[in-house]
A and B are shown apart, each in its own frame.
Chain A
Amino acid sequence: MTDKIIELLKSSGADAWEVTDTCTEGWEFYFIRHRLDQNRVRDVEHIEVIVHRKLDDGKFLGSASQEIAPTATEAEAKKIIDDLYQRASYVKNPYYELNKKSVEGVDENFDPQKMAKDFIEVMQQIPETSGEDINSYEIFAENCKRRYVNSEGIDVTVSYPSSTVEVVVNARNDEQEIELYRMYTAGTCDRENLVKEISDTLKYGKDRLVAKTTPSVGKAAVLFSTQDSVQIYKWIADKMMASMKYQGLSDWEIGKAICDDVKGDTFTVSAVKELTNSSKNFPVDAEGAEVRDMDIIKDNVPVSYWGSVQFRNYLGVEDSFIATNFKAEGGKLSESEIRTGTYLEPVEFSDFSVDIVTGEIAGEIRLAYWHEGDKVTPVCGGSVTGTLTELISDVKLSKELRQYDTCLVPSVIKIENVTIAGA
Chain B
Amino acid sequence: MKAKFSKYLNDIALNLKEMIAELAKNYDYVSVLSTDSVGFNVRVSQRVKTIDGSNLTTERGNVIRVYKDGLYSEYSFNRFEGDAAAMAAKAKGVLDRQLAVLKETNSEIYNTPKLEDEKQELFVEMETGLLPEETDLSALVDKLQKLSDEGVALSDEVIDCICAGQSTHICKMFLTPNKDLRQSYVISEGFVYMIGDRDGNSNQAINGISDREGPEIFDRLGDLVEKSFKELQDNLGSDHVIPGEYEIITAPDVSGLIAHEAFGHGVEMDMFVKKRALGADYIDKRVGSDLVTMHEGATCVKDVSSFAFDDEGTLAGDVIEIDKGILKTGICDALAALRLGTKPTGNGKRENFEHKAYTRMTNTMFDKGTSTKEELIASVKKGYLLSGIESGMEDPKHWGIQCIIARGYEIIDGKLTGKVVSPVVLTGYVPDLLGSISMASNDYMSFGEGACGKGHKEWVKVSDGGPYLKAVARLG
Contacts and interface: CB of A to CB of B under 8 A. Distances in A.
Interface of A: 27-32, 34-46, 48, 63-67, 69-71, 80, 83-84, 87-93, 113, 116-117, 120-121, 124, 135-136, 166, 168, 177-179, 181, 183, 216, 218, 246-249, 251, 310, 349-351, 353, 355, 357-358, 360, 362-364, 366, 381-383, 385, 389, 419-423
A70 to B, nearest CB: 5
Interface stretch (B90-98, B124-132, B164-172): B90-98
Interface residues on B, range: 35 or more
A80 B244 CA distance: 56
Interface in B275-328: 275-276
A356 to B, nearest CB: 10
B102 A355 contact: no
Contacts of A67: 53-54, 58
Nearest to B61: A44
A362 B398 CA distance: 20
Given A40-B356, A113-B101, A419-B240, A70 B79 contact: yes
B423 A38 contact: no
A35 B95 CA distance: 17
B71 A32 contact: no
Given A251-B202, A357-B203, A364 B160 contact: no
A300 to B, nearest CB: 17
B370 interface: no
Contacts of B48: 93, 246-247, 310
A392 to B, nearest CB: 14
3 closest A-B pairs by CB: A66-B53, A421-B476, A421-B243
20 contacts: A29-B102, A37-B110, A39-B102, A41-B75, A42-B354, A43-B75, A44-B61, A45-B78, A65-B53, A69-B78, A90-B51, A90-B138, A120-B102, A178-B398, A218-B243, A248-B159, A251-B200, A362-B476, A364-B425, A385-B423
Given A30-B356, A362-B423, A364-B427, A135 B276 contact: yes
Residue among A116, A247, A350 with most chain B CB within 10 A: A350
A208 B427 CA distance: 18
Contacts of B5: none
Contact of A135 (B244, B275, B423): B275
B82 interface: no
Given A40-B75, A135-B275, A248-B47, 16 more contacts: A36-B71, A36-B102, A36-B108, A36-B110, A38-B71, A39-B102, A40-B76, A41-B95, A67-B58, A91-B49, A135-B274, A350-B393, A351-B402, A362-B476, A382-B243, A421-B427
A246 B141 contact: no
A64 B457 contact: no
Contact of B79 (A35, A45, A80): A45
B474 A421 contact: yes
B95 A366 contact: no
A178 B58 CA distance: 38
B101 A117 contact: yes
Contacts of A353: 390-391, 404
Given A66-B53, A181-B455, A419-B243, A40 B427 contact: no
Given A179-B397, A248-B195, A382-B427, A91 B75 contact: no
A34 to B, nearest CB: 7
B404 A80 contact: no
Contact of A247 (B47, B71, B94, B101): B47
B73 interface: yes
A355 B206 CA distance: 14
Contact of B108 (A35, A40, A84, A358): A35
A385 B79 CA distance: 48
B431 to A, nearest CB: 15
Contact of A71 (B60, B104, B137, B276): B60
B356 A28 contact: yes
Contacts of A66: 52-54
A253 to B, nearest CB: 13
B395 interface: yes
Contacts of B95: 39, 41
A421 B425 contact: yes
B222 interface: no
B53 A80 contact: yes
B45 A363 contact: no
A228 to B, nearest CB: 12
A360 B423 contact: yes
A145 to B, nearest CB: 14
A70 B47 CA distance: 34
Contacts of B397: 177-179
B228 to A, nearest CB: 14
B334 to A, nearest CB: 12
